[in-house]
């Protein structure tokens, strides 16, 4: 089924995907701008929330909220991994056990409601060593998601690889423009400046959304993207 007629795309994820107010601009989640790259027949409903893991998102009832609203023919995009690495009991999961089991709950909600789940491996952080070489900080979580997608025959967008390729191409210095890197007094919301290698600038969020949107175009048959 495609989205030539109206359909909804729900987003479940963490701070790299979520919405932000003007009070923290230019910090922007890639899900916040995704709709700009999709046809008007698609309604993006961004339920991603800062600081959540695949576990805590469910424990707080956020997946249940999606379950109430999602319908047959809709899509559920699922991106977790950043906070599943945390050591605290509320968020911590293990890649090939609890992480996969929690992800399976998202798939089951989509299947039960007649929606299509799409797993998205965690977007990369800005992580370069002293020699300027990029390195992955997500450990086994991306591979665990890939294996679950294969096992359950679920569509996967490998954003870990797509973003790694983009960041490697740009290199350490140019990649700063994608993230929330600001000098003191450069922006009124950050008078002391900020060096954030996890969260995106508005420009960076758009570049990541541009990685995801063509994959969605291919997967769900949405036709030509917005310019």
pLDDT digits (tens, 9 = 90+) for 95-149: 999 999 999 999 999 999 999 999 999 999 999 999 999 999 999 999 999 999 9
In a domain, residue 225? The reply is no
pLDDT at 223: 47
pLDDT at 219: 79
Q: How many domains in the chain?
A: 1
Instruction: Give residue-wise pLDDT tens across range 154-209.
Output: 999 999 999 999 999 999 999 999 999 999 999 999 999 999 999 999 999 999 99
The residue segments making up the domain with residue 157 are 7-220
CATH of residue 21's domain is: 3.40.50.1110
pLDDT at 7: 87
Give the DSSP letter string of 143-199.
HHHHHHHHHHT-EEE-HHHHHHHHHHHHHHHHHGGGEEEE-TTSSTT-TT-EEEEEE
- Quickly tell me which residue has 């025959």 as its tokens: 153
pLDDT at 14: 98
Please give the C-alpha separations between residue 3 and each of 39, 68, 213, in angstroms, as whole numbers. Answer: 9, 20, 13
Average pLDDT rounded to a whole number, residues 12-40:
96
Q: Which residues contact 106 (CB under 8 A, 6 or more apart)?
A: 12, 54, 63, 76, 78, 117
Instruction: Give residue-wise pLDDT tens across range 30-80.
Output: 999 999 999 888 999 999 999 999 999 999 999 999 999 999 999 999 999
pLDDT at 226: 44
In a domain, residue 84? The reply is yes
In a domain, residue 28? The reply is yes
Residue 169 neighbours by CB distance under 10 Å = 10
In a domain, residue 226? The reply is no
In a domain, residue 212? The reply is yes
Give the DSSP H or E segment for 44. Answer: strand 42-46
Q: List the single range of 3-17, 19-33, 63-77, 82-96 with lowest mean pLDDT.
A: 3-17
In a domain, residue 227? The reply is no
pLDDT at 6: 81
pLDDT at 215: 86
In a domain, residue 178? The reply is yes
């Amino acid at each position: 089924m495609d989205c030539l007629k109206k359909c909804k795309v729900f987003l479940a994820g963490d701070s790299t995907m979520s919405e932000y107010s003007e009070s923290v601009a230019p910090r922007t989640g890639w899900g916040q701008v995704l709709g700009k790259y999709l046809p008007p027949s698609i309604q993006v409903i961004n339920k991603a929330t800062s600081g959540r893991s695949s576990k805590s998102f469910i424990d707080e009832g956020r997946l249940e909220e999606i379950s109430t609203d999602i319908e047959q023919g809709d899509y559920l995009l699922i991106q977790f991994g950043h906070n599943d690495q945390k050591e605290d009991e509320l968020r911590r999961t293990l890649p090939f056990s609890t992480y996969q089991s929690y992800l399976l709950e998202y798939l089951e909600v989509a299947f039960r409601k007649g929606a299509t789940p799409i797993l998205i491996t965690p977007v990369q952080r800005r992580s370069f060593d002293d020699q300027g070489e990029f390195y992955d900080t997500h450990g086994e979580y991306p591979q665990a998601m890939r294996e679950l997608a294969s096992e359950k025959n679920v569509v996967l967008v490998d954003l870990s690889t797509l973003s790694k390729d983009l960041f490697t191409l740009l290199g350490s210095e140019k990649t700063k423009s994608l993230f929330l890197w600001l000098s003191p007094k450069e922006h009124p919301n950050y008078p002391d400046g900020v060096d954030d290698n996890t969260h995106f600038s508005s420009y960076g969020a758009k570049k990541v959304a541009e990685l995801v949107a063509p994959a969605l175009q291919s997967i769900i048959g949405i036709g030509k993207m917005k310019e």
